[in-house]
């Protein structure tokens, strides 16, 4: 009887454990794309480009509370590096997003280190890594659509050197 109960408990635990560790996988990502070389140009588009492409994955930078131009440029470079590792030629629909965080924050009204419940925002950059599918880029180059505050968005390749 004890053996049967133990067997049932092990079977139930193994079946329930499977559901806890399931992760969603972005099926658009193709691991067969070769990695782009270090420093290779990755175009950024605030909107969508008219050049034929296939989406690879939605990628995001790390979150930061800082809103300076330097922080934004670092996030954009991080996005470009992630796209290079996936073999992407460009990133479209680049945008700044916020994440609200609730929890313990420092209390500035107390003269010593103290914590209180609160919330704050973190900022990150997100876009869709794409791979061009043949054909030359349209002439003239697509203009960026919309704006990305304090972000240097270029539609032309950076000068070599």
With a cut of 80, say whether residue 157 has pLDDT above it: no
13 located within any domain: no
151 located within any domain: no
17 located within any domain: no
46 located within any domain: yes
CA-CA distance, 154 to 84, in Å (whole number)?
16
Which is nearest to 48 in space by CA: 14, 108, 109, 91? 91
Cα R_g (the chain), whole angstroms = 23
155 located within any domain: no
Per-residue pLDDT tens digits for 36-60 = 898 899 999 999 998 999 999 999 9
114 located within any domain: no
| Average pLDDT, integer, range 15-22 | 50
With a cut of 80, say whether residue 149 has pLDDT above it: no
Q: How confident is the model at residue 7 (pLDDT cuts 50, 70, 90)?
A: low
pLDDT at 147: 47
Number of domains in the chain: 1
pLDDT at 84: 94
pLDDT at 31: 61
Q: What is the end-to-end Cα distance of the chain in Å, rounded?
A: 76
Can you give the residue range of the structural domain that contains 48?
Answer: 26-97+125-132
CA-CA distance, 108 to 34, in Å (whole number)?
50
Per-residue pLDDT tens digits for 91-147 = 999 999 998 888 888 888 888 888 888 888 999 999 999 999 876 554 444 444 444
| Secondary structure (3-state) at 71 | helix
> Encoding tokens for residue 41?
């140009």
Q: Is pLDDT larger for residue 7 or for residue 75?
A: 75
Which is nearest to 123 in space by CA: 80, 60, 79, 35? 60
With 0-12 / 13-18 / 19 or more C-beta atoms within 10 angstroms meaning exposed / middle / buried, residue 24 is: exposed
31 located within any domain: yes
54 located within any domain: yes
């Amino acid at each position: 009887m004890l053996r049967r109960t133990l067997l049932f408990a092990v079977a139930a635990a193994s079946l329930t454990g499977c559901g806890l560790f399931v992760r969603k996988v972005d099926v658009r990502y193709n691991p067969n794309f070769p990695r782009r070389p270090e420093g290779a140009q990755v175009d950024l588009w605030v909107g969508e480009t008219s050049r034929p492409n296939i989406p690879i994955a939605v990628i995001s930078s790390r979150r930061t509370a800082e809103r300076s131009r330097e922080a934004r440029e670092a996030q954009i470079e991080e996005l470009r590096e992630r796209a290079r590792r996936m073999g992407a030629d460009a990133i479209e629909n680049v945008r700044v997003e916020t994440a609200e965080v609730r929890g313990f924050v420092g209390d500035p009204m107390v003269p010593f280190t103290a914590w209180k419940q609160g919330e704050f925002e973190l900022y990150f950059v997100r876009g869709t890594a794409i791979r061009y599918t043949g054909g030359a880029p349209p002439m003239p180059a697509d203009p960026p659509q919309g704006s990305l505050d304090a972000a240097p968005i270029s539609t032309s390749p950076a000068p070599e050197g």
